[in-house]
Amino acid sequence: MPMPSFSASTPPAGRRRPALTAVTAVAVATLLAAAGCSGSDSGSGSGDQGGQNSRNDQDGQNRADKSAAPKDLTTQKLDWKACPTPSAAEGGGTAPSPLPGGTKWECATMTAPLDYAKPEGATIPLALIRAETSDPGKRIGSLVFNFGGPGGSGVTGLPSFGKDYEKLRTRYDLVSFDPRGVGRSEPVECKDDKQLDGYYARDMTPDDSAEEKSYVDGLKWYAGGCERKSGKELPFVGTVNAARDMELMRQVLGDDKLNYFGISYGTELGGVYAHLYPKSVGRTVFDAVVDPTESSEQGSLGQAKGFQLAFTNFAKDCVSRGDACTLPGSTPQEIQNFVVGLLDRLDKKPINGFGGRQLTETQATNGIAQALYSKEYWPLLEQGLDEADGGSGALLLVLSDAMNGRNEKGQYSNIQAANAAVNCVDSKQRYTLAQTKAKLAEFRQVSPLFGDFLGWGLLGCSEWPVPGEWDKPDVSAPGAAPILVIGNTGDPATPYEGARAMVKALGKGVGVELTYEGQGHGAYNSGSTCVQNAVNGYLLDGKVPKNGTVCK
């Protein structure tokens, strides 16, 4: 899928952005503690392993069967215990607090084949978390969540959203996991914290040949670090293997079907799973949907349009408040011109941030994009832009840090390293400098604010040490149970059109489309009673909404 390349890691263009679960400064920690995705996602294109998008369902099923895990893994018993303090790669912090009513979170480790082509060979540990159902007598089974990325930790993500899913816990054990290469599941590592501070501040929109060379050299340096530290696992962290891990998880959890709630990149992962294992699909919801039909370039352009639309909506809201809006300009265009000018100034001369760090153009762009993931963050965006205009870049830097997984101690989670690793092993696209420069005009045309940034992101996988697997994912799943696919008309990271494309790609009788006319990334946690009732009705009672349902 495409999620935004709004990460300062090595973003393959047009890729998904992880769901955020924590931020970096005390002043906004509470407000930002549960951001939702992709999504940057860094990235390019998406697709099905091997790039054989014409495979029919039976071929996909046969392939999955050939790479099944051995019996000693499918029958393994999980040792559920109290959850430990999150690791540095998961973002640090404290162990999850009990849910309302006192239910405690439990954690376990599942063992999976590192290489499903050699299922009897080396293994990889996968971290899981669960909260058992509040009503065992009505239990359906497990409901597995993936909150996005790729690169987001489900072990830390599910507890941060836990209260939002209490109704679903009446009939399910809530379960999530750190996918391979993420968090506590053999995390991909590339550089240390101090090195990443410099890397994420670098200029990602070169203006001349010297800056272009510096940008490309930075990609080589970062990718080289990933290869040195995590080279043995890099070929095996892709979406197809993560889908196979979910099938193994289904068996280990003892469920006849996989009941699944995928958000942002989680919809791409769910679509690939449905393609490989259509007969194992249970009650499934996709929210903030990745378009599986887009190429890397199309995905990046779509995100540029999506974030531009979200910014325009933010600017319209600001203008509608008259003098209460602190930004200069009486029209959305004038506010946009102000922000473009601010970014130009930062390109020439960064301003003070906090902790001895400065706010650069790259970090400001990241921060603006982060705030557009939810309408709840619009006041922070307005304040951050106003303060930056006055010479203080602290708030925009905090928002940028949130996207990059940096906490208040200056420690980085591995969200962006994993994001780059999964995207680059998924996607075949490898753009040259000349090809990238030839595309910039089109990107700038669709988004004066984000076009340059996302256009240059096409180079993201150019230096990656592992080849990509596919052009686009195959998510066709004839024979699968209905999958509820929710599109949000104001979603910046996974544009609304992706939901309809996913419904069509899943195949006749599988995808069921629901539209939410709102703002932000995702719909279930938006506060819409209509959306929640539709989702809860399906997951809890098996009531499939009418295709084409619209929630406002």
Q: For residue range 92-124, list pLDDT tens digits in order.
A: 999 999 998 999 999 999 999 999 999 999 999
Q: Catalytic site residues?
A: 264, 491, 521
Confidence of residue 64 (pLDDT cuts 50, 70, 90): low
Other Cβ atoms within 10 Å of 9 Cβ, number:
30
With 70 as the cut, is the pLDDT of residue 294 above it?
yes
AA identity, residue 273: Y
Residues 6+ apart with CB under 8 A from 42: 3, 5, 7, 9, 10, 11, 12, 15, 17, 416, 419, 420, 423, 457, 460
Query: In terms of Cα–Cα distance, which of 176, 167, 156, 185 is closest to 35?
Result: 156
Element (H, E) at 159: helix 154-161
Q: Do the beta carbons of residue 19 and residue 50 sit within 8 Å?
A: no
Residue 37 has what pLDDT?
Answer: 35
Please provide the average confidence, as pLDDT, over all residues in the chain: 89
Residues 6+ apart with CB under 8 A from 344: 361
Residues 6+ apart with CB under 8 A from 549: 513, 514, 515, 534
- Please indicate whether residue 387 or residue 32 has the higher confidence score (pLDDT): 387
Residue 297 has what pLDDT?
Answer: 85
Confidence of residue 67 (pLDDT cuts 50, 70, 90): low
Rounded mean pLDDT, 10-17: 35
Helix 433-446 to helix 296-320 angle, to the nearest 10 degrees? 30
Residue 204 has what pLDDT?
Answer: 97
Residue 22 has what pLDDT?
Answer: 33
Q: Do the beta carbons of residue 21 and residue 92 sit within 8 Å?
A: no
Rounded mean pLDDT, 499-525: 96
With 80 as the cut, is the pLDDT of residue 26 above it?
no
Rounded mean pLDDT, 415-440: 96
Rounded mean pLDDT, 201-227: 97
Q: Is the backbone peptide bond immediately before 70 cis, with ω within 30 degrees of 0?
A: no
Can you tell me whether residue 106 is helix, strand or coil?
A: strand
Q: Measure the CA–CA gap between 327 and 379, rounded to whole angstroms.
A: 11
Residue 68 has what pLDDT?
Answer: 83
Query: In terms of Cα–Cα distance, which of 480, 455, 542, 462 is closest to 220?
Result: 462
Q: Do the beta carbons of residue 534 and residue 549 sit within 8 Å?
A: yes
Residues 6+ apart with CB under 8 A from 320: none
Q: Measure the CA–CA gap between 468 and 461, rounded to whole angstroms.
A: 9
| Burial (Cβ within 10 Å: 0-12, 13-18, ≥19) of residue 370 | buried
Rounded mean pLDDT, 371-381: 95
Rg (CA), the chain: 22
Query: In terms of Cα–Cα distance, which of 15, 50, 34 is closest to 469?
Result: 50
Q: Do the beta carbons of residue 492 and residue 306 sit within 8 Å?
A: yes
